[in-house]
Structure 1
């Protein structure tokens, strides 16, 4: 019998959670326009909206806040962060940014010109937005299996090398400023990329003088999956695997709010000195001095420690294990989720969960709203709403995956909280045919999932009701 383990930490401080009544949750949801992003956090019981910036920092990180050097230039705290990035990730040059999208903005402006193509292993919302705003077309080169939530493969985030070769042959290497390789792939369900695939992508790109830039936001989780699933890595430390991973890239953008275990901050790293010099100038324009880049000294101190804490094998084993604890209970109960269970979240398959709803009725958005209404658990839509519209035709982008993301913050909740989430989802699944679709009452022009507002399509105006059975029959 496999012995059970507990969290590799103990709790020093607690925060009281809100436990609203059904009617109070209903009022909160209506005020938010059925968009979970617009619900006030004080109205949320268990917040699984995102793992970005929601980490519980360690005592070492909290202590380091008091040592932050807030000098405008030449901060000692920056030197400590720079050293940590170089030591753990292996890049030569590092520039701080206020968060990951600050790094994406600078990279996109410097590398992309009008008419370029940026291939990647599935889009991410803000990443693609920066690429498109600078004149590029995103091209999805992930393996086909990643678009099917029911297929269980160990490295579902892999690049399809034939797709990449075909794009190079079609548009020419000079039209591809870099390949954007996400490790792991968020919108595919937190799926990892194998070391072999990274190496093959890098070698192919080098033969065509194309850079490889990682979206390294959850790279430590990817390294753990390699240790667990790829031949030849089981006896190596996560830190060692991570260092090899990064060697198959020319640089990365990093949101420190995930695998760096902090609440704010990020960086842009690279090995090319010319790109570093040009990037440094834009950091001054958009972020701040190259020695703080939008972060306070105390933030940089906490990140420098978090970078090292994240590659502790015991920490990351528990991190992945808690996500599995939630996902496996749902699988055992017959709930449709993305398989295999990913690194940072469990993704409900809203198409299979609510088959009576058409995609233009926003089933993932409706399911996320219903989950909050049922239990006060906040989650996130990752489907047609997040995919936005085609910049040329104005039509909805229609991803194959219509998902609700249950994103687990790092070191925040216990498995008892996960049990509450499971109970709510099981209750909704039993009455799934009473959940109606939504119409979009307000649509922002860009990244609409953040601020869009919705309304139920039922005659009664209720999101969950017996009357919905008639409406959706």
Structure 2
């Protein structure tokens, strides 16, 4: 199969158009609302797209977590669910799939990714520890801090530059990591958290060379590496495309090698594994595995189901195999690139190069008249919904939360609005609608007013915070 390109790109360079490598067997009707209905829904939701009812949404790009369309093989697997409380055969299918494709020895199932993050944090972190990572993720950092650690961002500087075309903006800066080790001591760093791809940086990948170099550095100090492997297969495609020596290797081979430079991983199966629920923690550390297997009974469920039904474990095991199919993965990232090509033609600012799972709009560039305290990324998500019923989400100052010590806002350099593309759900025509709506919102940017926060929950505020429009 040829490398997917946008239809506009294909026409421009005389290349053949491409289509999704699947056909539709079932449809779910979408609701098209009026602007007046959307205004009412937005006000009732406190201008927070997380609080909108899904029935009021036309094209839902809030997240790619659990929103994928499962294959016919996965649905068939759902009928083979062994719902025994202990020792479900579906767990052993899942365990074998993880061991085969990711290479880790021990597996603990969880209800979703944050369950795995909690287990790892509780098992590995002690009060006063420090966890370096290549940019924070909301739930990951919360669990690390809740367990008593301080998170440190050691990603390369290019990750904070939306215009940089660095091919691996998710890479860890080895000098930053070394300085942290020298500052706090290796015994205070339970592990390095290496995310692939890096969500908050725009879905940017990590190179194999960087993973290998981080392994070499941490090995000198006895520091472990745990992946946030949620989109590791997407990361593998970028390595295949961009890194010398990997163009002839399969995604499965690249994935297995990448994981070999780590000691374990947390996984939200709701992304790469193409299922609606589920996750896992995997490790090569027998001692940590025993602790996590004890904790999972407290927090999640028995160690052979971890909060998942047998049918969900079976669907996930099948999804792991399907995820490393190169035709599927090229089409998945190709659809994101198609949307990026359209936005680029119209000069709409977003994080470049295009990442694996989403387009991240540069809300600062959209609304230079808005201070960060006026929540430009939240404003952009609200304006897009108001224009067309498309639901996106904020990834800026609201998601960053507050400093636990000072109580001040964390102020990230990036103020982004995420358009997250579910897997095997929408067509290119839907992407056209999204692009045209964004063009309309961009053209009206100068007259757009920001927001103020009127309700702030204690934890992970971006999920439930409420806002109102600033007066004109």
TM range (shorter): over 0.9
TM-score relative to the length of structure 1: 0.97
1:81-230 to 2 correspondences below 5 Å: 81-230=94-243
Give the Cα–Cα distance (whole angstroms) in 2 for the partners of residues 280 and 159 of structure 1.
30
Partner SS for 1:391? coil
What's 1:28 paired with? 41
User: How far apart are residue 125 of structure 1 and its match?
Assistant: 0.2
**What's the CA shift for 1:332?**
1.4
CA offsets 1:213-233 (integer angstroms, 9 cap, x no match): 000000000000000000000
Is 1:300 the counterpart of 2:313 in the alignment? yes
Deviation readout 1:380-424 (Å, 9 max, x if unpaired): 000000000111100010000000000000000001000000000
Q: 1:2 Cα deviation (Å)?
A: 1.7
**Post-superposition offset of 1:375:** 0.3
Deviation at 1:4, TM superposition (A): 1.3
Cα-Cα RMSD: 0.5
Q: Deviations over 1:80-118 (max 9, x none)?
A: 010000011110010100000000001001111111100
Q: How many residues align?
A: 459
Secondary structure of the corresponding residue to residue 419 of structure 2: strand
Q: 1:419 aligns with which of 427, 432, 439?
A: 432
Q: Distance in 2 between matches of 1:202 and 1:286?
A: 31
Q: Runs of 4 or more off by more than 4 Å in structure 1?
A: none
Structure 1 counterpart of 2:407, from 377, 394, 400: 394
Say which of 25, 31, 50 aligns to 2:63.
50
Give unpaired runs (5+ residues) of structure 2: 1-13
Residue 139 of structure 1 aligns to a residue in which SS? strand
What is the match of residue 451 of structure 1? 464
Answering whether residue 53 of structure 2 is matched by residue 40 of structure 1, we say yes
Aligned equivalent of 1:358: 371
Q: Structure 2 length as normaliser, TM-score? A: 0.97
Q: Tell me the residue number matched to 1:231.
A: 244
Provide the C-alpha distance between the structure 2 equivalents of 1:334 and 1:44, rounded to a whole number of angstroms.
Answer: 26
Matched residue, 1:69: 82
Aligned to 1:317: 330
Can you list the C-alpha shifts for 1:196-223, whole angstroms capped at 9, x where unaligned?
Answer: 0000001111110000000000000000
Q: Which residue of 2 aligns with 1:3?
A: 16
Aligned counterparts of 1:188 and 1:299: Cα–Cα separation in 2: 30
Instruction: Give the match for residue 346 of structure 1.
Output: 359
Q: Find the aligned partners of 1:248 and 1:5 in 2 and give their Cα distance.
A: 35
Mapped to 1, the partners of 2:377 and 2:153 lie a distance apart of 22
Secondary structure of residue in 1 paired with 2:131: strand
Following the alignment from structure 1 to structure 2, what is the Cα–Cα distance between the partners of residues 110 and 254? 16
SS in 2 for 1:67: coil
Give the Cα separation in 1 of the matches to 2:323 and 2:363: 32
Q: Once the 2 structures are TM-superposed, how far is the Cα of residue 458 of structure 1 from its aligned partner?
A: 2.1
Residue matched to 2:392? 379
SS in 2 for 1:191: coil
SS in 1 for 2:132: strand
2:254 corresponds in structure 1 to 241
SS of alignment partner, residue 201 of structure 2: coil
2:469 and 2:285 mapped to 1: Cα distance? 52
For residue 468 of structure 1, what is the aligned residue in structure 2? none
Q: 5+ unaligned residues in a row in structure 1: which ranges?
A: 460-473
Partner of 1:291: 304
Structure 2 residue matching 1:348: 3-state secondary structure: strand
Find the aligned partners of 2:294 and 2:244 in 1 and give their Cα distance: 43
Distance 1:130 1:391 in 2: 13
Query: Post-superposition shift, 1:274?
Result: 1.1
Aligned to 1:462: none
